[in-house]
Chain A
Amino acid sequence: MMRKLKLIPDNTNIPFLKFRMMAFIVSAVLILASIGLFFSLGLNKGIDFEGGILVEVGMEQAPELGDMRSSLGGLGLGQVALQSFGSDTDILIRVQRQEGDASAQEEAVTLIKQQLAQDYGDAISYRRVEFVGPTVSNELVIAATEAVVVAVLAMLVYIWLRFEWHYSVGAVIALVHDVILTIGMFAITRIEFNLASVAAILTIVGYSINDTVVVYDRIRENFRRFKKLSVQDLINLSINETLTRTTMTSFTTLLALVALYIFGGEVIRGFAMAMIFGIVVGTYSSIFVAAPILLQIGLTHQKEEEEGFAGAERADADAEEKS
């Protein structure tokens, strides 16, 4: 048989918890930086959240962006941003939200189309036209924030029920960590923040919790198996035991996401980027934040035994196996 590829060698034993203070400091700095970036630079909000107009046009030949900008800028619609999108002949036109109600946005779209028809005639096709009025964009902001908060709370409750409160606190700290860092990434990379970005964040939340739960599951199990081991050694052992799985799954997911980033087209690229970042951060946080924090907030052997709820099943299973 051929030799198997192993991301992590057997019997790896990295003393992750020794580095925990360093990891906490790194995470704290990154979190503060993300919050700072969020408030200073802000997010590059797409029209979903900002309102406004987005027109993607396909041209027969690459246009002079300067000319197009001054032509559209002369319409008096305020800020007009142009960028080539995937190819030179594919131009994304973004116009700021117009004062007034939804019909003002619609009129602006008509103006833009007229101007483009005048400048380029038939040599232009509309790949995408979108406008979002102010009422809707406000509602979308609220709905998106609600979705993230509700998701985090729902997971907190689930883990509380399945494990105990230390775990649910640890998991939520890791989640909030991941969400804040992802938002920081959006702020610094200027990747457009839109509805798909919210979907990305929620998926990261789902993925990160998945990773964390696998580690926690092992910690819980080891608490029952090794009554004498110190909590620190026990958590460390659990992280190492699940390390292969953690990295394997992150790696396969990243493979798929990188394919999506490279080949999935321009529209989905921002989403793929956010997900890639989130998977890396989520994996880091499961190992360096979620598990070590259990020690920090005082998880002990006693705590684990008091719980006993899900523990009973496993003890039975072990007993059966031995007989």
Chain B
Amino acid sequence: MNRFPMWKIIVVLLVCAFGIIYTLPNFVSKSSLSGLPDWLPTKQVNLGLDLQGGSHLLLQVDAGAVKTKMMDSLVDGVRDSLRQQGDNVGYRDLGHDGEIVSFTLRDAADEEKARERLSDLSNIMPNGQRDVVIEVGDGGRVTLTPSEAAIIQRLSSAVDQSIEIVRRRVDETGVNEPTIQRQGRDRILVQLPGVDDPDRIKRLLGETAQLTFHMVDLTADVGAAGRVPPGSKRLQSLNEGSRTYIIENRVMVSGENLEDAQATFQNGQPVVSIRFDGLGAKQFGRATSENVGKPFAIVLDNKVVSAPRINEPILGGAAVISGGFDVAGAQDLALLLRAGALPAPLDILEERSVGPDLGADSIAAGEVAGVIGVIAVAVFMVLSYGLFGIFANVALAMNIFLIMAVLSVLGATLTLPGIAGIVLTIGMAVDANVLIFERIREEIRVGKSPLNAVESGFARAFTTIIDANVTTGIAAVILFVMGSGPVKGFAVTLLIGIISSMFTAIMLSRMLISFWMQRKRPKTLEI
């Protein structure tokens, strides 16, 4: 063996350099990091909420309320379609049982007319099916059944909307780097670093966002210097950079009167269809009749979402916003329009808030435990294996650098159990070296030369190391996949530790030993 191949030397050195360079930013304060040139790594290990302090909220969207609201609005839609001025379709017993909307036609001969009127309520979904199935039975009994897919889609979009609202709400409070993500089917995980008393945020999440529709004031000069006429105001655009709009203060229709908005297709073009409730439809109908050809502004949280032109009076309470959207753009706008209010109540299932003191204490305690653990293990290794123990300790130190570097690069989150994982890894990291060294001892005992003993010690320990680490790795992977929060953090450090300790034992300490043997050419091995 003893010529350690050049390519391996290069790999080992590269990996070690990576470990050291990418660990260093963690020892530098955030402010001095920003002053460094771009080509230097600046990523630090993310601290979990349990270490930096912060609040973790698990919210659940009330699925029952979403469905009830869906059925209620379908009932309203049926009523509005059937009752049209001067041309009512007579019906009775309109209502829903939570699953199906039903009513009975007063005159069964109205069936065709009813079908035609109701057709607006049944749209084709992206999967090609209708979202509401309309059936007419004996005696003029009409049922409207939302398909399973439509309900799931509605719940799913309710969760998406809630996340969007929650995000806006949280951003408004000025929390730094909040994490808001979907968890499972109907849950939202909100993580608020630095917030140890989330009462205000919990209150805000219950509040309704304001959505309003206004006419655009065409008499005013839109230029930045232009004076804003009385009765109007200048608003920033939501998505169009610095563009501003001047709109009339008068609210044409409020978002409270908006029932739904969905991205659909019209003539093959992605559009957004919106639907108002009864009052909204009336207000909207009147305003559009009086302002054909003029633009009206859709305003959300005092920013203009868009200002489409009214092409014709819109009387049915259902409208389509077209404007050269792509599919994603239409979905976004639909979402924004729906986002006027939380679609359903949010329940807080779980809260974990950690104050900054406790987090700082935990980090300090973890550091002390880590340093003492490393020293204890290192001393013990030298006592047991002498010079070879020092080789193992170099590998151990590099192991810690590699774990920190990989955590930094991955942007993985270091939690308190994660620190425990690192400390544990320190103890277990020397295992591979112990296995190798014990093998070398055995080989020497049976009379092999130092060179052969080292060679076969590494070779024979190899399969054992693989088998032993793969099994531990299985436990770590399962922890990662099935665990949650801090436990995941533990699994990540454990898994990285397993891999890096195998690398440092098999490659790094072997390289050191082989360099040493080449220089000294020892006649006997002290191990």
A: which residues have CB within 8 A of B? Answer: 1-2, 4-7, 10, 56, 58, 101-103, 106, 109-110, 125-133, 135-136, 140, 143, 146-147, 150-151, 154-155, 158-159, 162, 195-196, 198-199, 202-203, 205-207, 209-211, 213-214, 217-218, 221, 241-242, 244-245, 248-249, 251-257, 259-260, 262-265, 267-268, 271-272, 275, 310, 313-314, 317, 321
Query: In the complex the two chains form, is A254's CB within 8 Å of B456's CB?
Result: no
Contact assessment for A252 and B471 in the assembled complex, using a CB-CB cutoff below 8 Å = no
**A209 B383 Cβ-Cβ under 8 A:** no
CB contacts under 8 Å to A, within B345-387, are 347-355, 357-358, 361-362, 365-366, 368-370, 372-374, 376-377, 380-381, 383-386
Task: Check: B470 CB closer than 8 A to any chain A CB.
Answer: yes
CB pair B427–A257 under 8 Å, yes or no, is yes
Contacts of B352 in A (CB 8 A): 128-130
List the 4 shortest-distance A-B pairs measured between CB atoms, nearest first: A206-B475, A265-B365, A256-B427, A253-B427
Q: Does B468 contact A (CB under 8 A)?
A: yes
Report B257 CB to chain A, min CB distance, Å: 29
Contact A249 to B428, CB < 8 A, known contacts A206-B474, A255-B376: yes
Given contacts A125-B357, A196-B417, A252-B381, is CB(A159)–CB(B471) below 8 Å? yes
Alpha-carbon separation in the docked complex, A254 to B428 (Å): 9
B526 within 8 A of A: yes
Between A and B, 29 residue pairs with Cβ closer than 8 Å are A5-B380, A10-B441, A103-B348, A106-B351, A128-B358, A150-B482, A195-B485, A203-B475, A210-B472, A213-B464, A213-B467, A213-B471, A241-B442, A244-B441, A245-B435, A252-B381, A252-B427, A252-B430, A252-B434, A256-B376, A260-B373, A263-B369, A264-B423, A267-B50, A267-B358, A267-B362, A268-B419, A268-B420, A321-B456
- Name the residue on B nearest A54 (C-beta): B352
Q: Which of A202, A211, A244 has the most chain B CB atoms closer than 10 A to its own CB?
A: A202
Chain A residues within an 8 Å CB radius of B215 = none
| Contact of B474 with A154 in the complex, beta carbons under 8 Å | yes
With A262-B369, A263-B372 given, can you name 16 additional A-B contacts, CB distance below 8 Å? A125-B355, A126-B197, A150-B478, A151-B474, A151-B475, A196-B490, A198-B487, A199-B479, A203-B424, A206-B475, A245-B438, A248-B438, A252-B434, A256-B426, A264-B420, A271-B417
Q: Taking CB as reference atom, which chain A residue is nearest B448?
A: A321
Rounded to whole Å, the gap between the CB of A323 and the closest CB of chain B is 13
Chain B contacts with A in 456-486, Cβ cutoff 8 A: 456, 459-460, 463-464, 467-476, 478-479, 482-486
Expressed in whole angstroms, the Cα–Cα distance for A155 and B476 within the complex equals: 12
Asked whether, in the complex, the Cβ of B353 is within 8 Å of the Cβ of A128, the reply is yes
Q: How far, in whole Å, are A10 and B442 apart by their CA atoms in the complex?
A: 9
B383 contacts A4, C-beta separation under 8 Å: yes
Evaluate contact between B373 and A259: CB separation under 8 angstroms.
yes
Q: Are B417 and A206 in contact (CB under 8 A)?
A: no
Closest chain B residue to A218, Cβ basis: B464
> Cβ of B385: which chain A residues have Cβ within 8 Å of it?
4
Distance between Cα atoms of A242 and B435 in the complex (Å)? 9
- Give chain B's interface residues, CB within 8 Å of chain A: 50, 58, 60, 196-197, 199, 202, 347-355, 357-358, 361-362, 365-366, 368-370, 372-374, 376-377, 380-381, 383-386, 416-417, 419-420, 423-424, 426-428, 430-431, 434-435, 438, 441-442, 445, 456, 459-460, 463-464, 467-476, 478-479, 482-487, 490-491, 494, 526-527
Closest to A207 in B: B472
Smallest CB gap from B477: residue in A:
A154
Report Cα–Cα, A135/B350, bound state, in Å: 10
- Note all chain B residues with C-beta closer than 8 A to A267: 50, 358, 362, 416
Contact check: which of A130, A136, A256, A314 meets B423 at CB < 8 Å? A256
Q: Which residues of A contact B430 (CB under 8 A)?
A: 249, 252
Contact B487 A101 (CB under 8 A): no
Which residues of the other chain, B, contact A241 by a CB distance below 8 angstroms? 442
Instruction: Kindly identify which residue among B348, B355, B473 contacts A106, using a CB–CB cutoff of 8 Å.
Output: B348
A78 to B419 alpha-carbon distance, docked (Å): 35
Is there an interface contact between B424 and A275, defined as CB atoms closer than 8 Å?
yes
Contacts of B490 in A (CB 8 A): 196, 199, 203
- Which chain A residues border B368 with CB–CB below 8 Å? 263-264
Q: What distance in Å separates the Cβ of B363 from its nearest Cβ neighbour in chain A?
A: 9
Once the chains bind, are A255 and B377 in contact (CB under 8 Å)? yes
Residues in B neighbouring A203, C-beta threshold 8 A: 424, 475, 479, 490, 494
Is there contact, CB below 8 Å, between A202 and B479?
Answer: yes
User: Closest B-chain residue to A53, C-beta based?
Assistant: B351
CB distance from A175 to the nearest CB of B (A): 10
CA distance A264 to B271 in the complex (A): 58
What's the nearest-Cβ distance from chain A to residue B62, in Å?
Answer: 10
- Supposing A128-B355, A253-B424 touch, asked if A268 and B434 sit within 8 A by C-beta, the answer is no
User: Given A127-B355, A257-B427, A195–B420 Cβ distance below 8 Å?
Assistant: no
Distance between Cα atoms of A125 and B354 in the complex (Å): 11
Measured CA separation A265–B442 after assembly (Å): 41
Once the chains bind, are B471 and A244 in contact (CB under 8 Å)?
A: no
Q: Are B416 and A268 in contact (CB under 8 A)?
A: yes
Least Cβ–Cβ distance between A9 and chain B, in angstroms:
12
Q: How far is the CB of A157 from chain B (nearest CB, A)?
A: 9
A129-B351, A255-B427, A271-B417 are known contacts. Are A143 and B484 too (CB-CB below 8 A)?
Answer: yes
Q: Of B384, B445, B460, B469, which contacts A10 at CB under 8 A?
A: B445
In the bound assembly, the distance between CA atoms of A267 and B137 in angstroms comes to 65
A264–B380 touching, CB < 8 Å: no
Taking a contact as CB atoms under 8 Å apart, the answer to whether B365 and A248 are in contact is: no
Task: Give every chain B residue within 8 A of A131 (Cβ-Cβ).
Answer: 350-351
Q: Which residues of A contact B486 (CB under 8 A)?
A: 195-196
> Across the interface, which residues of B come within 8 angstroms of A271, CB to CB?
417, 420
Q: From residue A88, how far is it (CB to closest CB) to chain B in Å?
A: 15
Point out the residues of chain B lying under 8 angstroms from A272, CB to CB: 420
Contact present for B353 and A195 (CB under 8 Å): no
Complex contact B353–A129 (CB within 8 A): yes
Distance, CA A2 to CA B354, complexed state (A)? 50
B349 to A136, Cβ gap below 8 A?
yes
Whether B423 pairs with A259 at a CB distance below 8 angstroms is: yes
Partner of B353, one of A126, A221, A248, A263: A126
Task: Provide the residues of chain A in CB contact with B464, threshold 8 Å.
Answer: 213-214, 217-218
Residues of B within 8 A of A205 (CB): 475
**Contact A265 B348, CB 8 Å, known A136-B58, A147-B483, A245-B435:** no
Q: Is the CB of A264 within 8 A of B365?
A: yes
Give every chain B residue within 8 A of A248 (Cβ-Cβ). 384, 434, 438
- Residues B196 and A126 in contact, CB atoms below 8 Å apart: yes
Across-interface contacts of A154 in B (CB, < 8 A) = 474, 478
Chain B residue numbers with a CB within 8 Å of A202 are 475, 478-479
Chain A residues, Cβ within 8 Å of B527: 4
Separation of A202 and B421 alpha carbons in the complex (Å): 12
Q: Are B434's CB and A249's CB within 8 A?
A: yes
Which residues of B lie under 8 Å from residue A56 when comparing CB positions?
358
